Structure 1
């Protein structure tokens, strides 16, 4: 493993641990509770951050998302398309995410395992590969993965804050 891959694995590992710890022991009602009108719920925040990680890592790796390949889409039974990641969701959409801690942690662990296996195998040349040339400068795989980490950490922090308010 390269230094860059090692750092990415460490960051994703921390996210994966955090997603499990933030929901463990919470009831479905806790996971669906809004602490203020229009605030996102812990259940939605964690579902969203794991979906984004799953979606972006699968795209980068050229593989199918865990969401569909392992049947999580059916297990969650949400009223969204298979491709939905939560991006652009409305308050009403957030209200439809009713889940259990066990379901969320199962999906988070599955995505976390796939993510860590992928990033641990990356070389420096892999990390320098351009994955999106529509930006100036073009986006490399390293930059894309750091972007996913940043987004996940923001949503994880929000979920931890909401949990503290419960």
Structure 2
């Protein structure tokens, strides 16, 4: 199995989990927070999607779908357009609300498909290309993509936990 196949499979698993967490939930559950300092399912899925969009677009020299395809307008959040949710305060987390799961899933699916398109032509040697020199050591494409997978799996797991807690209430 080639490295890009592992990444494609990993992102496919993230997509399956995102859909499993979001599908069938009413807006009240999507937007519910277990307490005033926790993240909602809406925030978690929005954030993992924003991070994937931001990181993949940056690594491949593309515009983020968040702005280029009008997702920022569709979500109409009271946040800066470049905001990805990183280091959000509880007040900012509360700003991320949706009227239904379709918006979250459609946004995620668009970013997922873009990511797969980027991975399609990837060669093994491309994974060693430096994409971010703001770190020591500099971040390679391979490290950045593994980071996206890791972040996504952590957040979708958190969202699944929240869904489980809410289903028991």
Separation in 2 of the partners of 1:81 and 1:101? 22
Cα distance per residue 1:103-137 (max 9 Å; x no partner):
00000110010011111221112111111234333
Deviation at 1:39? 1.2
8 A Cα contact 1:20 1:108, kept in partner:
no
Query: What is residue 30 of structure 1 aligned with on the other side?
Result: 29
Separation in 2 of the partners of 1:49 and 1:161? 15
Separation in 2 of the partners of 1:111 and 1:21? 17
Query: What is residue 128 of structure 1 aligned with on the other side?
Result: 128
8 A Cα contact 1:52 1:148, kept in partner:
yes
Deviation at 1:147? 0.8
Q: Which consecutive residues of structure 1, in runs of 5 or more, have no partner in the other structure?
A: none
Q: Are residue 85 (structure 1) and residue 84 (structure 2) matched? A: yes
Deviation at 1:82? 1.3
SS in 2 for 1:87: coil
Structure 1 residues 34 and 140: alpha-carbon distance in aligned structure 2, compared to 1, 3 A threshold: same
Separation in 1 of the partners of 2:134 and 2:94? 34
Separation in 2 of the partners of 1:96 and 1:133? 32
What is the correspondence of 1:50-129 to structure 2 with a 5 Å cutoff? 50-99=49-98, 100-129=100-129
Instruction: Please report the TM-score for the alignment, with normalisation by the length of structure 1.
Output: 0.95
Separation in 2 of the partners of 1:79 and 1:136? 34
Separation in 1 of the partners of 2:163 and 2:70? 28
Q: CA RMSD in A?
A: 1.2
Separation in 2 of the partners of 1:95 and 1:136? 34
Query: What is residue 9 of structure 1 aligned with on the other side?
Result: 8
8 A Cα contact 2:36 2:90, kept in partner:
no
Instruction: Please report the TM-score for the alignment, with normalisation by the length of structure 2.
Output: 0.93
Deviation at 1:140? 1.0
